[in-house]
Structure 1
Amino acid sequence: PCFLSTDRKGNYLLASYYEGSKVTVHPIGGDGAATAAPSQTVPTARGAHSIQTDPSNKFAFVPHIAGNGPNAIFQFNFEETTGNLTANNPARVSLQEELGPRHFCFHPNRDVLYFSNEQGGSVTGYNFDATAGTLSAFQTISTLPDGFDGANSCAQIQITPSGNYLYAPNRGHNSIACFSVDPGSGRLTSLGQVASEPVPRAINVDPTGNFLFAAGLESGRLASYRINSNTGHLEPLATYEVGRRPMWVLVTELPG
């Protein structure tokens, strides 16, 4: 699998398979271990890049990139007592442009989702119908500066706990795109880009919303930034050697 997440109750491990063209569900036992065999396997399409349930734990989404995939977001109903996924209606959101939705995050206070577009070099905001569990796009905005015409692809996407700022990394331009989020509409406004380590595949905002960390796939270094709570701009702090080709970064809080 290329992506793992748990449902909102922590009872099931959900996995998406880029080459395997599927998603799976694994029950999580009382010891915190997931079962080796999935309780459900759902065929989707090549390029399934992530999966998450919504805050109500009733729905799930699986974006598929373009080129190697169908350039669509699969929409599912999720039954939290059994872990079963069933296709929603409609079963997918097919995109007109070759955007390639890859990863996504939920606005903490609004029924809005944001997807990073791998091939499009952009972020798309979707209104989320919390009753039907379906998406409708309302904005697509570039992650790149005007005039840049080099090769680029987007990877992860993060929003601050306040919902005020959103970030997406550019692999090619080698930067982190920064956006402010309108508190009423959820629309994004570009704040520009901040230089990153080469090929910033993975980023994460810490639980306080004060810091962002970005891993450079080609440099083997992790860069830290302070998030200005008034402007959303990133202030570079330090870099750390973390080994060859870091693929993921996660900041978590431990008990005590």
Structure 2
Amino acid sequence: MNRLKFLFLLLLISFTASAQETLYVGTYSVRGSEGIYVYSFDRDNQSFSLKQTVNTPESPSFLTVSPDGHYLYSANRGGTEEYPDWGSVSSFSIDKKSGELSPINQISSYGISPCHVHIDGNQDWLYVSHYGGGSLSVFPIKNGGSVGSLADSVQHTGSSVNPNRQEAPHVHSIQSIPQSNYFITADLGLDYLKIYEMKDKNALPAPVAYITTEAGAGPRHFSQSKNSSYIYVAEELTSTVSVHYLNIKERKTHQVQRVSTLPEGFSDNNSVADIHSSPDGRFLYVSNRGHNSLAIFEINADTGKLTSRGYQSTLGEVPRNFTIDSQGEFVLVANQNTDNIIFFQRNKENGQLTATGTELSVPSPVCLEIK
């Protein structure tokens, strides 16, 4: 009898955990957007229910959830009353049962047009990228999830070969390297990924300071392999992915491969946006804006190299960001220009995607987080 009770309790816990999954949607403040959208997700029925909308300063266009799942942070184009010409960062607590958000605090991002926000694995630091001003900001995370006063800010300088898009630095994304004090920034305007080390509350150049891409590539977002030995870079301006080997301790880095994200013969305008690998590290996906697809690649675990496995239409226009759930069972794609989010089932064995028919209507969705 005790064993039966124990099994029943496990089933109940499992059901409760699945019932608590929540989708968070960051948007641009156009076409009637109300800010951040919060949906409950029923995995068994593949259905979503709108629970909450949260007002923030203009365009909460990028979101991140803390590793412990207790807090959410948004990068907003709009500023604070004290610093209206800069962007801002908002912090929220997440209700364990409902997934709904409650505001904690809001501060200036100390830069123009923040486009990406990231929190390290230890929840010590919050990193903010500024596309407009070409700078990055680092903030401490305080007890209770609030964002503390600015710890450090770094201004990139220079330009590259594309006069329309690379006339100045454009810091587009930041990720920390797991189990280390290092973090990587992708600068679209300078054609490199710059690597920093957090030391004594300062962002200092790492022993390997740069990963360089091809001139004019425009690195936007990137994905790290499971052991962080390979970096997969989505190159916005050339619709390519470059693969780089990185070993900071040995001070080594080199390019392994560079492949197109487009099918042969496609000649219309296109730019890549987001990039993610599957939880098992076997497949890589990249969003094409123009071809309006996800490019699918298989990853060679030994060499890090990519092999194309086809394309999946996103059933909408300008797929900006997308997310893969932690179990690797589905992919959600945010189509910015057609105001829809498409739900795809994912085949874990071959990486292919199948549209389920489930679709959400959200004004100008640009960032998705599901927890």
TM over 0.5: yes
1:91 deviation in Å?
3.2
* Gap runs ≥5 in structure 2: 1-113, 158-168
**1:214 alignment counterpart:** 333
CA distance in 1, matches of 2:201, 2:264: 45
**1:114 alignment counterpart:** 232
Q: 1:1-256 maps to which residues of 2 (within 5 A)? A: 1-35=114-148, 37-45=149-157, 46-65=169-188, 69-79=189-199, 82-89=200-207, 91-109=209-227, 111-132=229-250, 135-196=253-314, 197-252=316-371
8 Å Cα contact 1:76-1:88 kept in structure 2: yes
Distance verdict in 2 for CA 1:198–1:181, change over 3 Å: same
* CA-based RMSD: 1.6
1:23-56 deviation per Cα after TM superposition (whole angstroms, max 9, x unaligned): 1110111111112x31111112421000111012
Structure 1 or 2, whichever has the larger Rg, is 2
Distance verdict in 2 for CA 1:16–1:110, change over 3 Å: closer
1:74 aligned partner, one-letter code: K
Distance verdict in 2 for CA 1:42–1:171, change over 3 Å: same
Normalization by structure 1: what TM-score?
Answer: 0.91
8 Å Cα contact 2:231-2:246 kept in structure 1: yes
Which structure shows the bigger proportion of residues in helix conformation? 2
Normalization by structure 2: what TM-score?
Answer: 0.64
Bigger shift: 121-130 or 106-115?
A: 106-115
Bigger shift: 137-146 or 106-115?
A: 106-115
1:93 deviation in Å?
3.1
1:122-147 deviation per Cα after TM superposition (whole angstroms, max 9, x unaligned): 11111110415664211111110000
1:109 deviation in Å?
3.8
The number of aligned residues is 246
Runs of 4+ in 1 over 6 A off after TM superposition: none
1:237 deviation in Å?
1.3
CA distance in 2, matches of 1:244, 1:110: 35
8 Å Cα contact 2:239-2:270 kept in structure 1: yes
